[in-house]
């Protein structure tokens, strides 16, 4: 009788525990967690990433009564970067993509770099977006100009004309007077040239 009672107590005590059950085994690629065997409901476990990996997400999780994990499992991300890729018409100098190393971008002739030339691998990510190599626009040539147009634009010429007009005025001559005197000179010369 006593034995049966003890047996009953043990069963009553065990059933809720076994009913509660455990959660699916945790998973963490490139890392480890604190549990060794099956994890019971309400138990918490912690996560740690291997060297050169960074934990993204929560570093702990709890087995819930519905046998799910909360918060969700983290992931372990490499601290090193992948190949950063080439911009069109460009390349980079540097072979080391490990965390902390730098590379430098260059563009082909006739292209100039827009963006960040020097990039560093910081915990698995390149420090800036890929730069772009843009075609250099040929310096826009000024509209063709005749010598005359150039002369008219010249400030020297403007000054010369102004001072000439000023001198004429100072001598009491107008353009008409000047023209007349030139006509006279021309007539004189013509007369002299006649046989
Ligand atoms: C989990 O992360 C917290 C901060 O987010 C930190 O204080 C704690 O030490 C970490 N625990 C473990 C086991 O890494």
Q: Which domains does the chain carry?
A: 18-77 (2.10.70.10), 90-135 (2.10.70.10)
Distances (CA, A) of 89 to 93, 101, 120, 126, 153: 14, 23, 21, 20, 42
The 10 Å Cβ neighbour count of residue 2 is 6
Going from the Cα of 33 to the center of ligand 1, the distance in angstroms, rounded, reads 13
Find out whether the peptide bond into 71 is cis, omega within 30 degrees of 0: yes
Ligand 1 pocket test: pick from 35, 56, 59 the residue with the most ligand atoms within 8 Å of its Cβ: 59
pLDDT tens, 170-189? 666 565 665 666 676 677 77
Find out whether the beta carbon of 34 lies less than 6 Å from any atom of ligand 1: no
Find out whether the beta carbon of 46 lies less than 6 Å from any atom of ligand 1: yes
Find out whether the beta carbon of 59 lies less than 6 Å from any atom of ligand 1: yes
Task: Provide the residue-wise pLDDT of the chain in tens; the chain has 195 residues.
Answer: 555 655 555 444 555 544 579 999 999 999 999 998 999 999 999 999 999 999 999 999 999 999 999 999 999 999 999 999 999 999 999 999 999 999 999 999 999 999 999 999 999 999 999 999 999 987 654 554 555 444 433 444 334 534 655 665 666 656 566 566 667 667 777 777 666
Going from the Cα of 97 to the center of ligand 1, the distance in angstroms, rounded, reads 28
Kindly calculate the radius of gyration of the chain based on its CA atoms and give it in whole angstroms: 46
């Amino acid at each position: 009788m006593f034995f049966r009672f003890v047996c009953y107590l043990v069963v009553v005590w065990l059933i809720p525990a076994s009913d509660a059950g455990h959660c699916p085994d945790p998973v963490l690629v490139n890392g480890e967690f604190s549990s060794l065997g099956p994890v019971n409901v309400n138990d918490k476990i912690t996560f740690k990433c291997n060297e050169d990996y960074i934990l993204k997400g929560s570093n702990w999780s709890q087995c819930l009564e519905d046998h799910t994990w909360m918060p969700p499992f983290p992931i372990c991300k490499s601290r090193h970067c992948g190949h950063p890729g080439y911009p069109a018409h460009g390349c980079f100098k540097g072979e080391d993509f490990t965390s902390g190393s730098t590379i430098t971008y260059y563009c082909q002739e006739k292209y100039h770099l827009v963006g960040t030339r020097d990039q560093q691998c910081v915990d698995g990510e390149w420090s800036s977006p890929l730069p772009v190599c843009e075609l250099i626009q040929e310096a826009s040539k000024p509209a063709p100009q005749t010598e005359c147009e150039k002369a008219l634009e010249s400030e020297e010429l403007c000054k010369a004309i102004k001072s000439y007009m000023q001198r004429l005025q100072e001598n009491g001559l107008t353009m008409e007077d000047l023209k007349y005197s030139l006509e006279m000179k021309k007539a004189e010369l013509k007369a002299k040239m006649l046989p």
